[in-house]
Amino acid sequence: MSVELYIAIALSELVSLFLIFRLWRSAEPLWLKTILTIVLLIPFIGPLMYFFATDNTATQRLNLRNDNLPYGEYTRRWITMRPLWKQFYKEKKEAIEKSKDKLKDDSEK
């Protein structure tokens, strides 16, 4: 075997050791930790399979969580503000059209 392959295997196992350390500090059940540790010890493929088998997504902030409500806080806030924004954009559009008409009238004179 070549030296490059040994280096690649060593790097893969270092990544695996880091992931094993993180895994054993997590709140996963013991049976899952054991299975994933065995999987992680497989060079190259182990770390890839680990990422497919685990869910390391961070929890959502409190204002984005859906705590038994039909929508999250952000969506609820957007839905309540939407009519105000529509009215604002409509007034802005009308003001722009009036200013265009006024400029058009002034340029014709």
pLDDT digits (tens, 9 = 90+) for 27-61: 888 998 999 999 999 988 998 888 888 877 777 77
Q: Are residues 65 and 81 in the same domain?
A: yes
Query: What's the pTM value of the predicted model, to 2 decimals?
Result: 0.51
Residues belonging to the chain: 109
Domain that residue 1 falls in: 1-57
79 Cβ neighbours under 8 A, 6+ residues apart: 71
- Enclosing H/E stretch for 95: helix 73-108
Q: Are residues 53 and 67 in the same domain?
A: no
- What is the mean pLDDT of the segment spanning 83-107? 86
Ranges of H-type helices in 26-72: 30-40, 45-53
Structure confidence at residue 109 (pLDDT): 64
Q: Are residues 80 and 109 in the same domain?
A: yes
